[in-house]
Structure formats: C-alpha cells, structure tokens
Amino acid sequence: MLHNSKKENGHSKDEKNKPRDALEYIRTQIAALDVIRKVRRKPKFLKLRNDFSLSGSLNRHGYHSPQQIGEGGCAFVYKVSKCDTDPQSSTGCDDKDSRPDAVVAKVSKRSISNQCSQERISWMSEADILSAINHVNVIRCLEFFHVGGHGVMILEYVDGGDVYDVISQSDSVSVNARSIICQILEGLDYLHGNKRIAHMDLKVENILLNQKGLVNICDFGSAVRVPECGKIRTLGITTPSILPPEYIQCDFCDPMACDVWSVGIIIYLFLAQRYPYGNGELAAIDLSVYRQSLDFSDVDTIEFESMINLTRCCLEKIPKKRLTVKQALQSPFFKL
C-alpha cells in the first residue's frame, strides 16, 4: 500500500507512476543480465586498475596466488591460499588446489576510501551483516580489511558449485532437492528469526554447495536488517526473475516475505527446470506475475504433490498470506 494523501481519481500519483518507473529501471537491468547470462559458463572478467597490485597486497595480509573465479556487480571474486609459515608443513606453497586452507577473497571493484560514497556504505553494510552471522548454512566471513583503497572480504571457500549447477545438470527433479531446500530454509530461519536479516537476492547462483552437499547461502550485498515495523523501501532492484509482485507494485515491502517468494522460485526451478514467470524478461514481470497461474504441466503432480503445494504457498501473491520460513519448514514435503 502506498503512503500518499494526494489522490487523483482514487489513486495517488505515486501509485500510478511507481510501477512504470520501476519497470523502466528494470529494462536497463535486464539488458545487463542478458549479457551476464551469455557468459555464465565462460566469463570474461574485468580487471582492477593497473596501479593496484592485488597479489602483493594480499600477500602482506597472509594470502597468495589469487585466481579469479567470479565477478559480481560490485566485486571481483578470487580463490586464494593462506601463506604457509610452517617450514615443517608437508603441503607445498604452490599446491594451492589441494590445500585445505584455500579461501575466497572478495575485492571491491571501486575504491571505498570515500567515507560518503555509496560503494563504501554498501560494502560496510555487507561486512557488518556477515560479521554478525554464524550458521552452518550461511557463508562465513573470516576477515575484512582494506588494500589500496579497495575493500577485501576473506570468505570460506565452498568447493561443490552452486544450485544452478545442480538443476542445470539434471533432466528431472534432483534427488538432493529436499535436502537442499530444507537447508536453505534453515539458513533463512536463522537469519530471519535470530538476526532479523533478510537476504533480498536469494537466487540459485547464491546458494553454494560443498562436496558433502552442505548448503551455504552467500552474497549478502543486497541484505538488509529488518526494522521493527517489518517493512523496507523498495528502492533497489536485485534480480528481476526472483522479485515478488509487491516489490514492483508498492513503495514498501516485507523483506522476509520477499525471501520466501525467492525460495518458491528455487523450488519451482527444481520441479520444472525453468523460471515460473520468465528469467528477468520485462513482459513476465509486468504481466505474468499478476495474471498467470503456475504451470506444473510437465511435473508428476502425484509423485511431487507435497513439493508442488509448498511451491504454491511460497509463491502466494498476497504477502500476508505467504508462508513464513518457520511455516515452510513444517511442510509435509520435509516429513519422510
């Protein structure tokens, strides 16, 4: 619901303009997302500025051999190894891939030395949120420091790929779907219930798995601390394909309910191997979320009945009727 007392023909000016303005902004985001998807498997990484020596700077903090493994909107991601200071160690310094102490260095693309810059505010917010989190299903931040004006987060290295890989490599519902979805919800239950933190960008690429199948929720660049009122302004756009209807339609939204919607998108992807309302396409966001029913025509509705029911409850279009994380964990889908 919009909060504006100036009405025209029963509707506020903001109420008329907000969806249009949001969708205009999304158009620019979609263009960027399409480029990113085309290089999903063979990314062409950008580089840090020429006068910044990442290797030397990391080495001074006890890390070496940076190998770029990813890139986001605001940061580069490197796999690095801890410098071995024990001369009796049997692990060679060059054998970084087999070392158990490999970690990830997330380096800001731009300098965050300006105290008032949006980059610094966003980076410090993410660091603050990660420093408050300690749960088996959430990525751990081991250290945070600055090098050459850039922010660096040292995170644990998760070696089993992401949920995108699990879904894309399977022709049917993955046998690990129940375990993965349950772990995602348990991580969210900790974030929502214990820390009042909402992730706000919960997509398959941000759900990592180790070799034993342990889920790690990562990338808290869009995460927020939920105020007592339970609502935040819908100012920024994260990933269009996982946005709930109220994020586009309203000035304020419940971020925890947004996370549950995102879980519903993930469950649907496990079932149908496609996005329910399009993968970031403008027409899907503008029309399908509001008008089309969920399509389970390619799914065995008898075998996966409880999974389908959970999906429907997470993708309830009215936020107040949507399941909470705790309610979702009580679904018959998780009762063997």
198 and 259 share one domain: yes
Question: Six-digit token pair at 294?
Answer: 């969920």
Give the residue from 116, 139, 156 where a domain finishes: 156
Which residue type is seen at 77?
V
User: Has residue 28 been placed in a domain?
Assistant: no
> For residues 19 and 65, which has the higher predicted lDDT (pLDDT)?
65
- The pTM of the full predicted model, rounded to 2 decimals, is 0.80
Establish how many alpha carbons lie within 13 A of residue 256's alpha carbon, considering only the half-sphere containing its beta carbon: 28
Residue 250 resides in a domain: yes
Residue 68 pairs in a beta bridge with: 78
Tally of CB atoms within 10 A around 90? 6
Pick from 42-46, 100-104, 148-152: least confident:
42-46
pLDDT in tens, 297-332: 999 999 999 999 999 999 999 999 999 999 999 999
- Flag whether 192 is in a domain: yes
Q: Is 21 inside any structural domain?
A: no
* % of the chain exceeding 90 in pLDDT: 52
Domain range for 314: 163-334
Residues 176 and 240 in one domain: yes
Residue 72, in any domain of the structure: yes
37: left (phi over 0), alpha (psi -120 to 50) or beta: alpha
- Answer whether residue 4 is part of any domain: no
> How many independent structural domains does the chain possess?
2
| Residue 22 maps to a domain | no
**Which residue's entry shows tokens 């020429």?**
50
Task: Note the pLDDT tens digit of each residue in 117-149.
Answer: 778 888 899 999 999 999 999 999 999 998 888
Q: Are residues 262 and 174 in the same domain?
A: yes
Residue 248 to residue 241: CA distance in whole angstroms:
12
8 Å CB contact between 79 and 69? yes
In a domain, 46, yes or no: no
Q: Give the torsion sign (CA, 284, 290, 293, 296).
A: positive
Check whether residue 142 and residue 123 sit in a common domain. Answer: yes
* pLDDT above 70: percentage of residues in the chain: 75
Please check whether residues 224 and 110 belong to one and the same domain: no
Q: Among 141, 156, 171, which residue terminates a domain? A: 156
Q: Point out the domain boundary residue: 156, 185, 213.
A: 156
Asked if residue 215 and residue 147 are part of one domain, the reply reads no
Residues 199 and 112 in one domain: no
For residue 98, the domain's CATH number is 3.30.200.20
3-state secondary structure of 124: helix
pLDDT at 97: 42
